[in-house]
Structure 1
Amino acid sequence: MDKTALVVGARGVIGGNLVAHLEREGDWSIVGLSRRGGVDTAAVRNIAVDLLDREDTVAQLAGLTDVTHLFYAAYQDRPTWAELVPPNLAMLVNVVDAVEPIAPRLEHISLMQGYKVYGAHLGPFSTPAKESDPPHMPPEFNVDQQQFLEQRQQHASWSWSALRPSVVAGVGLGSPMNLAMVIAVYASISKELGIPLRFPGKPGAYSSLIEMTDADLLAKATTWAATNPDSRNQAYNITNGDLFRWSSMWPAIAAFFNLDVAPPLQMSLSEAMSDKAELWNAMIERHGLCHTPYEAVSSWQFGDFVFAWDYDVIADTSKSRRAGFHEYVDTEAMFLRIFHDLRDQRLIP
């Protein structure tokens, strides 16, 4: 095969769905990097590596001389915005430093970003956000990562692209940022306790405009940007293409789980769900679910983060459409599809 993809962060919801998409395309050799590694298949080779260990990264990646496309979707969480910068920048630098000198056919480096570039995590920001919007006060590791690629590319033959999705939803365990899993487990536990489904976020978040990005759609956009000559050295907002309010989406979610909807009640999911491990383990036995540790099944902290957005969180995606990417996903249908997949895989009752 002429194309070899190196997917960094291959076990996350974004990287995992990207690997699956590349497999479906059928004309890629695929190498997945993650801290945990994985089971190899006919098309995918997995490597376990600590990307913060520069020497280990160089050693583990030493044989990847055929890489043509580097897809970077790795992330390490830290308590504060400033603390996020050093590890997340270092991991990208270590990967590029390890691959670039040994991969003469390297064509493209794809960087996964998000709306933090626009300051969405800090409070109300200019919406719909555009790729040309002015920067905000640092620290912000997404910006530092892009600046590193921009500077490095000036003396290289490869190009880069940056994808900026909204909240990404897909099937994937162990990811710190998977809102679909948060909602599915929260709803499943609500049903187990015989209580209605209440929106747990800030009152203003229930009525603000928001959008999502389906992990499969994001994978298509990522490979499109990486292989489209006109997308060289560009950043793109990538979303499903529709907007919604939780006030209208919540009843549809509740209906899937056969739950009543009660008025919103602001609460910290991190606190309210902290004592539910024993209940979850009982649900696994009762419903014949996969034995997934409670701490790996959902990130309540991320749910609290998203449900606290009592302001519009939307971006302009016209740049990607003008460039030729026209995929669209109905967000309500996306949620229901993901919930069906989770149920079929016996991850939720």
Structure 2
Amino acid sequence: MGPIFDPSLAGKLVRHEPPFVEDSPRLPYPNFYYALEDLVASYSPALTFSVHRSSIIIGASSRSVYNALLSLAVYAAICKQQRLPFHYPVSWHNNKYGQLCLIRLRIKRSIAKGFDLVEMMKEKGGVWDEIVEKHGLYKTKLEEITCFDALKIAMNFDFQHVCSMTKSREFGFHGFADTFKSIRMWVERLRDMKIIP
């Protein structure tokens, strides 16, 4: 897609007809993942590898800046702490599919027109510190576990973001997980790890 985290290039995302495929050529932008691929390739043929590009990431870790689920969970905890309404951070017109899940959830959540998650979360580091202290959580700083810029972009793509799983299946990765069951499981894991309340 392109450098979605570089504000000067964010409007230059490369549009593809879905699904995105693994054999697409590299984009003409600096990309940390390309550097990692090149590093691993420099050890070939002593080391065999394959590259599978991930999509929206969820999981449990104490330092997962680009973990969309963790950023959403932290945002929800801050809303609860400050008794603020939880607005689902997608634009009102967004009805696009994403690789992680259908963005337009069929549950009652407030989708506020003109809501800016990044702006709302500025200066909330102190609130997160209070939450960590109040609930005896693992000591983290807001900027260590969230990236609201990335979450805002990922939740507001103006194109269908669906990737082909063909390459992964050809290499033997046949497993899958139900998105909504996974979300519940990872939230519980984050709670067990005392990352979120």
TM bin, normalised by shorter chain, reads: 0.7 to 0.9
In the alignment, the residues of structure 2 paired with residue 80 and residue 147 of structure 1 have an alpha-carbon distance, to the nearest angstrom, of 25
Match of 1:179?
Answer: 68
Structure 1 residues 79 and 137, CA gap change in structure 2 (3 angstroms): closer
Equivalent of 1:289, from 113, 128, 137? 137
Cα displacement string for residues 174-206 of structure 1 (whole angstroms, at most 9, x for unaligned residues): 33311111010111112223333212233344x
Q: 1:247 aligns with which of 100, 104, 129?
A: 104
Deviation at 1:122, TM superposition (A): 0.7
Q: Distance in 1 between matches of 2:167 and 2:191?
A: 36
Which has the larger share of helix? 1
The residue that corresponds to 1:336 in the other structure is: 184
Structure 2 stretches lacking a partner, 5+ long: none
- Conserved 8 A contact 1:199-1:266: no
| Rounded Cα–Cα distance in structure 2 between residues aligned with 1:151 and 1:286 | 48
3-state SS of the aligned residue for 2:164?
coil
Residue type at the aligned position of 1:211: Q
- Aligned structure 1 segments of 4 or more residues deviating by more than 3 angstroms: 78-82, 142-153, 264-268
1:129 aligns with 2:20: yes
What secondary structure sits across from 1:163 in the alignment? coil
Aligned to 2:196: 348
- 3-state DSSP class of the match of 1:275? coil
Structure 1 residue 144 displacement after superposition: 5.9
Q: 2:150 pairs with 287, 290, 302, which one? A: 302
Q: Give the aligned CA root-mean-square deviation in angstroms.
A: 3.0
2:86 pairs with 1:197? yes
**1:327 deviation in Å?**
0.8
Letter paired with 2:169: R
Shift of 1:81: 8.1
3-state DSSP of counterpart to 1:203: coil
Aligned residue pair count: 191
Partner Cα separation in structure 2 for residue 189 and residue 150 of structure 1: 43
Q: Distance in 1 between matches of 2:140 and 2:36?
A: 33
- Scaled by the length of structure 1, the TM-score of the pair is 0.48
Q: Percent identity?
A: 23
Deviation at 1:285, TM superposition (A): 3.1
Tell me the equivalent position of 2:166.
318
2: CA distance, partners of 1:202 / 1:262: 11
- Measure, in 2, the Cα distance between the counterparts of 1:273 and 1:211: 25
1:69-148 map, 5 Å: 79=6, 122-133=13-24, 135=25, 137-141=27-31, 142-143=33-34, 146=37
1:278 to 104, 122, 126: 126
CA deviation vs aligned residue, 1:123-161 (integer Å, no higher than 9, x gap): 53221112233x2650243446546765774xx443331
Residue 170 of structure 1 corresponds to 59
Instruction: Report which of the two has the higher share of strand.
Output: 1
Does residue 208 of structure 1 match 2:96? yes
Name structure 1 gaps, 5 residues minimum: 1-77, 83-120, 213-243, 252-259
Report the residue type matching 2:56 in the other structure: V
> How far 1:339 sits from its partner (Å)?
0.9
